[in-house]
A and B are shown apart, each in its own frame.
Chain A
Amino acid sequence: MTSQTSTEYAKYYVPEKSKLAVCATIGLVLSIFGAASIMNDMTFGDPGQETSSWTIFLLGLFFFIATLFNWFRITIKENIAGMNSAQLKKSYVLGMFWFIFSEVMFFFAFFGALFYVRVLVGPWLAGEGEGGRMNGLLWEGFSFSWPLMQTPQEAVGGAGAQLIANNGSFTSANTSLSFNDAHAWWAWLPLWNTLVLLSSSFTCHLAHMGILNGNRSKFNFWLAVTVLLGMIFLGLQYMEYHEAYVEYGLTLNAGIYGSTFFMLTGFHGFHVFMGMTMLLIQLLRSVVGKQFTADDHFGFEASSWYWHFVDVVWVFLFLFVYIL
């Protein structure tokens, strides 16, 4: 260990002063302030009153995205200029890995909520076990099944008949999006979505094989297919949401089934959008900028990890939201 002299050790690049952090903060704080104001206008505000919430939000968001764009541009330039030692590259690898882990934990919270409701809360509200006493007192007549097609509120005769404080009106859907309620397997969108997303993980892997072999056209082709599949997924999800809202009456107000359904699939869809954007940028970097080599393509690799992560989340969603 002592034989390691300092000259053998490549210098770790520590950037000098940078305005990125302060700019990103300004953008971020403006956009959250704007977003919170928009929601408060919507829920508590006076509908006739003009506010500048949207302006603040969009301005902040634009500035934030522009800063991030610039931030990534600078790091890419540094890498191309050869400033990144192998050790620094490993820092980026670790950073991406633990970022994805934090995303896993974010979904864990919502899956946890889903399981808690399905396994414990539902039966309790329906009168089962020690926790079931509230059924006779507050929710008489409520019985539990999943997907929940009648909320406790509806069971007692609507928001007006409810014995405890009214915090909204929760009207169930008439049909769920579960497999059991599908009229035909081929008309069941989640199945197609699963096929699309699983094959996109496969094409993403093919793209990776392409760049590893130094075959840029193969890389570009399969990456473009992956991005396209991502878009198809989002298109199908849009159709599904439309169907849910318009035909099935499955909305955010449809009780806990609607809440968990939209929370899980919505955040997943948002992550698909993010992953797709990341991959699209890598595609543009390769097509326009001729960037990436067989042994230096971390921008793509990180995006592909993210893409596989999104795919794995979908497998769990498919299982626990749509099938079981």
Chain B
Amino acid sequence: MGDHHHGPAKGLSRWLFTTNHKDIGTMYLWFSFAMFILGGFFAMIIRAELFQPGLQLVDPAFFNQMTTLHGLIMVFGAIMPSFVGLANWMIPMMIGAPDMALPRMNNWSFWILPPTFLLLASTLFMEGGAPAAGWTFYAPLSTTYAPPSVTYFIFCIHVLGLSSIMGSINIIATVMNMRAPGMTYMKMPLFVWTWLITAFLLVAVMPVLAGAVTMMLMDVHFGTSFFSAAGGGDPVLFQHVFWFFGHPEVYIIILPAFGVVSQIIPAFSRKPLFGYDSMVYATASIAFLSFIVWAHHMYTVGMPVAGELFFMYATMLIAVPTGVKVFNWITTMWRGALSFETPMLFCIGFLVLFTIGGFTGLMLSIAPADFQYHDSYFVVAHFHYVMVAGAVFSMSAAVYYWLPKWCGRMYNETMGKTHFWISFIGFNLTFFPQHFVGLAGMPRRIPDYALQFADFNMMSSIGAFIYGASQILFLYNVIATIVAGKPTSEEKVWDGAEGLEWTIPTPAPYHTFETPPKIDPAHAHS
């Protein structure tokens, strides 16, 4: 058909109608960054309000809308799409495939997102304001006491789920069906493995979330009583269904991050990843365990003691495969020829801070102790250590690591390192003090607090502004690289990097591996 070497089309239609995994990956990445800025802006409002005790800037109802939308946008709009973007860019290049398995559906998965988030954000301007029940939108706050805009929110969740399911089906089909000959499962790069398992999780739990919001919709508009004891239902039912989705969801966010770190640490240690097989099995174990631990989010809701115990011990079990991973990363670095370029700095930052987040998670898993910690700032500190220092740090590392391959230009290393250090300091200044105020009893999602928490909260707010500002530097560095970075045409941008993506020209051509590459059977995974 003579269309073997098409470059990209010109103008807007390239992006609207594209079926190219690199274009779609790029759109996902830019979209998620835009959402990261929007969600970050909401966080800044929250921190500005909490800068001093007493009501300062916004009224409490609006504060609730901010915490809700901050969480929803960061989880569904920023972190998840950013890793889907990375998957789009990297998986075909890592397994030697010409593109994603179902390219048109791939484009659809992306284009559902922008109008849906526009609709979600527009609930802020609707009568009664945006949903304000927190990102976990527990009933009856999200049903009986919700503003009318909750209906739009419910449908937004439905189509976001649709987008995620289609995206994951695409990833599963790509990994299972599009590997180059000789690329066996146990030779796949770890990023591909973690995404494959993540995609299974997504296909399994996004429909459950759809079920939860459908029950909400029926309760709000059609008189059912799923979440109402008066009719024989139970508000706690919502929490069970939500967290059956919600707990795997947090692994959906962190597993691709594990994959990224497992690619980058070996590259800058100039050693193969230690314990590849155990990494794969650990990832699968974490995924399996994620389905049987959901009620550890609900210890204080009034469960039978047998339930508390089961969920407590199952949760603690997760520390084992996660520990395997952390030890493997450290052992990979052990006696390696280490160098500390920006991607490596972010990965080491990830390793230290994620481990702290993991330990606080272990503290929270202890049911009797959780009665003290529950819904306090300790929980906020815990999950920001895993979401921000875990997922977002690894995402920053990934961008610095692969950006030269994507655009054929090198980023400014000094600026990258500056970004890392400001982020690292800003992040810890924000969230480390929250452990203390949380343990001392400061509740989350409240716009005011007792006077004794004032100093730590001011530190937190200053840290948040610093962390927020560092992202502007990141944006500037990325744009400066794309526009005017130092050109590089080396296939292997990093001398220690391994994998098929480093065997193709730099910048990566529009189409890669139209015919599958040969995989050296003797060559170990990378």
Contacts and interface: CB of A to CB of B under 8 A. Distances in A.
Interface stretch (A157-165, A217-225, A228-236, A285-293): A157-165
A170 B99 contact: no
A305 to B, nearest CB: 14
B176 interface: yes
Contacts of A127: none
| Interface SS, B side | helix
A99 B511 CA distance: 28
Contacts of A168: 223, 225, 228, 230-231
| Interface SS, A side | helix
B146 to A, nearest CB: 10
A18 B220 CA distance: 39
B134 interface: no
B177 A25 contact: no
A164 B182 contact: no
B115 A29 contact: yes
Nearest to B522: A2
B111 interface: yes
A80 interface: no
Nearest to B16: A22
B304 A252 contact: no
Nearest to B517: A6
Given A1-B519, A14-B98, A105-B203, A95 B173 contact: yes
A170 B302 CA distance: 25
A111 to B, nearest CB: 10
Contacts of B223: 168, 170, 251-253
Interface stretch (A173-181, A183-191, A237-245, A254-262): A254-262
Contacts of B66: none
A125 interface: yes
Interface string B230-246: 11111011001100100
B521 interface: yes
The interface size bin for chain B is: 35 or more
Given A94-B177, A164-B230, A11 B208 contact: no
Given A6-B515, A109-B212, A168-B223, A91 B102 contact: yes
B108 A102 contact: no
Contacts of A253: 223-225, 231
A83 B447 CA distance: 60
15 contacts: A17-B14, A18-B104, A29-B119, A32-B159, A33-B119, A36-B151, A43-B221, A105-B203, A112-B208, A116-B240, A117-B234, A121-B232, A138-B229, A170-B230, A259-B225
Interface of A: 1-2, 4, 6, 9, 11-12, 14-22, 24-25, 28-29, 32-33, 35-36, 39-40, 42-44, 71, 87-88, 90-92, 94-95, 98-99, 101-103, 105-106, 108-110, 112-113, 116-117, 121-122, 124-125, 129-131, 134, 138-139, 144, 148, 151-153, 159, 162, 164-168, 170, 251-253, 255-260, 262-263
